[in-house]
Amino acid sequence: MIKKYYELKKIDLKKNHFFLLYGENEGHKKQIIEEEFKKFYSENIYHYEENEVIKNEESFFNNILSKSFFESEKLIIISRVTDKIKDIVEKLLEKKIEDFVLILNAGLLEKKSKLRSLIEKNKYTVCVPFYEDNNQTLSTLVNQFCRESKVSISQQSINLIVQKCRGDRQNLTNELEKIKNFARNKTKIKIEDILKLTNLAENYSVSELIDNCLAKNIKKTVHILNENNYSLDDCILIIRTFLVKSKRLLKLFKNIKNTKNVDDVISSFKPPIFWKDKEIIKRQIDSWSYKSIENLVFRISEIELLIKKTSNNSVNIISDFIIEQVQTASN
């Protein structure tokens, strides 16, 4: 069955054990998993990647089926889910196991997705879409944060935070956490404090880096890489920015298939594309094909896993990957 995210509070976890959370809003999904699921579990939370489950299916089933005398219910979270895992999910449904809750965390799933169809049509499974946040939603979250933290932030500062986070709730959450730590003994935070506290100034260089890479501007991309002394934290930000912008480009290609008019697609795109970004996005569209961007999104996910596993070499990995992409002829 299909539910809205705010309806999850009414779901009985004793009756519904399977949840598919899909969409590009990773920050919102993470928030819901923390608030509506993890708070009910203590130690028995298990995280998997889809590829890991598929490669080690027997081990995965053994973990779910095994239970010690003192063990309570398990919370199983599988990330980066696609239609490839559908057969395994069907096997789990057939077994009718009642002492665990399964969360399938997927990116964008089309209506024709077999996994999405399976979860939507079963009355004992729950399918929840997570759409991108618009600026109004993010502004509301900042204002809510200010009320709860009892701090005053100007509307100019709020607009700056929202604009620079570019629709990414996870970025917003990270920056608000820094502001919260800074504001423990303060009631008012100036815009100068916001700029110093957050990564907003650096975020722009990251955004510019990815935009130029996707536009195949080799000279500018190399210049930005050379001018910035990136850290491990920057690498995570870079790869996530790369993913967000690549997915946006993928969605633009899908819309272009229907209307054929690039200018109309860019102008009507949601969330809105800033006017100053329109020309470079046109160059990105000219530099890639739908299939090549689809492959790129998959590669980015692989690179993110790699830099998390080999943190000592993350800067070199991400730099080499960016150079590879900007030099590759994609069309």
Q: For residue range 231-247, what is the model confidence (pLDDT) as tens digits?
A: 776 788 888 889 889 99
| pTM (two decimals) | 0.57
Mean pLDDT within 177-193? 79
Shared fold status for 5-129 and 202-327: no
Choose from 9-13, 88-92, 167-171, 221-225 the range with maximum mean pLDDT.
88-92
Instruction: Check residue 173 and give its pLDDT.
Output: 83
Render pLDDT for 55-95 as a digit per residue (tens, 0 to 9). Answer: 998 888 888 777 654 556 788 899 889 999 999 999 988 88
pLDDT tops 90 at residue 30: no
Three-class secondary structure assignment of the chain: CECCHHHHHHCCCCCCCEEEEECCCHHHHHHHHHHHCHHHCCCCEEEEEHHHHHHCHHHHHHHHHCCCCCCCCEEEEEEEECHHHHHHHHHHHHHCCCCEEEEEEECCCCCCCHHHHHHHHCCCEEEEECCCCCHHHHHHHHHHHHHHHCCEECHHHHHHHHHHHCCCHHHHHHHHHHHHHHHHHCCEECHHHHHHHCCHHHHHHHHHHHHHHHCCCHHHHHHHHHHCCCCHHHHHHHHHHHHHHHHHHHHHHHHHHHHCCHHHHHHCCCCCCCHHHHHHHHHHHHHCCHHHHHHHHHHHHHHHHHHHHCHHHHHHHHHHHHHHHHHCCCC
- Residue located via tokens 């499974």: 125
What is the average pLDDT score of the chain? 83
* Top-level class of domain 5-129: alpha beta
Render pLDDT for 140-163 as a digit per residue (tens, 0 to 9). Answer: 999 998 888 888 888 888 887 887
Percent above pLDDT 70 for the chain: 92
Instruction: Check residue 273 and give its pLDDT.
Output: 77
Residue 12's pLDDT band, with cuts at 50, 70 and 90, is confident
Instruction: Check residue 193 and give its pLDDT.
Output: 75
Instruction: Check residue 17 and give its pLDDT.
Output: 83
pLDDT tops 60 at residue 204: no
Q: Please provide the distance, in angstroms rounded to a whole number, between the alpha carbons at the two ends of the chain.
A: 40
pLDDT tops 80 at residue 15: no
Instruction: Check residue 166 and give its pLDDT.
Output: 65
Residue 213's pLDDT band, with cuts at 50, 70 and 90, is very high
Instruction: Check residue 322 and give its pLDDT.
Output: 92
- Backbone angles phi and psi of 68, in degrees to 5: -80, 170
Instruction: Check residue 67 and give its pLDDT.
Output: 67
pLDDT tops 90 at residue 199: no
Percent above pLDDT 90 for the chain: 18
Render pLDDT for 106-134 as a digit per residue (tens, 0 to 9). Answer: 988 888 899 999 999 988 899 999 887 88
* Top-level class of domain 135-198: mainly alpha
Going from N- to C-terminal start, the domains of the chain cover 5-129, 135-198, 202-327
Render pLDDT for 290-319 as a digit per residue (tens, 0 to 9). Answer: 899 989 999 998 898 888 877 778 888 888
Instruction: Check residue 101 and give its pLDDT.
Output: 87
- Distance from the Cα of residue 275 to its chain's centroid: 24
Residue 200's pLDDT band, with cuts at 50, 70 and 90, is low
CATH of 202-327, one of 3.90.1560.10, 1.20.272.10, 3.40.462.10, 1.10.540.10: 1.20.272.10
Instruction: Check residue 216 and give its pLDDT.
Output: 93
